Amino acid sequence: MDKDKKYKQKVVLVGGCFDVLHPGHIIFLEKAKKEGDKLVILLESDEKIRKIKGEDRPIHTQKERALVLKALKYVDCVIELPFMDTEKEYDALTQRIRPDIIAVTYKDPENHHKKRTAKLIGAKLKYVTKIIGKHSTSRILKHEN
């Protein structure tokens, strides 16, 4: 057996906002971690979240969100992203990380981009969860059950 392959760790990459951590996030991260040895999170910038979710978001700053994520036993690395507005920027970063797997939630609206990126870098796209129940930060903030 090739010595390098014997000791190579399988890297799993996920991305997101993770603004108000909820059970859906935890289940997703736990399942993603089971796909490899190291779990790396690309954490969206505050500016990007405002652009996607609205001026009243994020609730927690990127630094605060990173602190919480780093405390989870499933998470090995959190990369605090600068504001990134193009797929090309995400592709360049993902190429530098070279994950073996990009873990996603089934029916995530961004999966088309993640699938294309996985193909570009030779990673596997792995659906690790469905959207879990009614768990969503937007729903929590509206006090919906």
pLDDT value for 138: 52
Tens digit of each residue's pLDDT, the chain (145 residues): 444 555 689 999 999 999 988 888 999 999 999 999 999 999 999 999 999 889 999 999 999 999 999 999 999 999 999 999 899 999 999 999 999 999 999 887 778 889 999 999 999 999 999 865 565 555 555 554 4
| Tokens found for residue 99 | 């994950």
Q: What is the topology classification, in CATH, of domain 9-101+109-141?
A: Rossmann fold (3.40.50)
Name residue 116's beta-bridge partners.
Answer: none
Domain residue spans in the chain? 9-101+109-141
108-114, long-range: CB < 8 A, 24+ apart? 113/87, 114/15
3-class secondary-structure state, position 101: strand
d(CA 115, CA 118): 5
Summarised one tens digit per residue, pLDDT across range 109-123 is: 778 889 999 999 999
Residue-level length of the chain:
145
DSSP string computed for 39-84: EEEEEPPHHHHHHHH-TT--SS-HHHHHHHHHTSTT-SEEEEPPP-
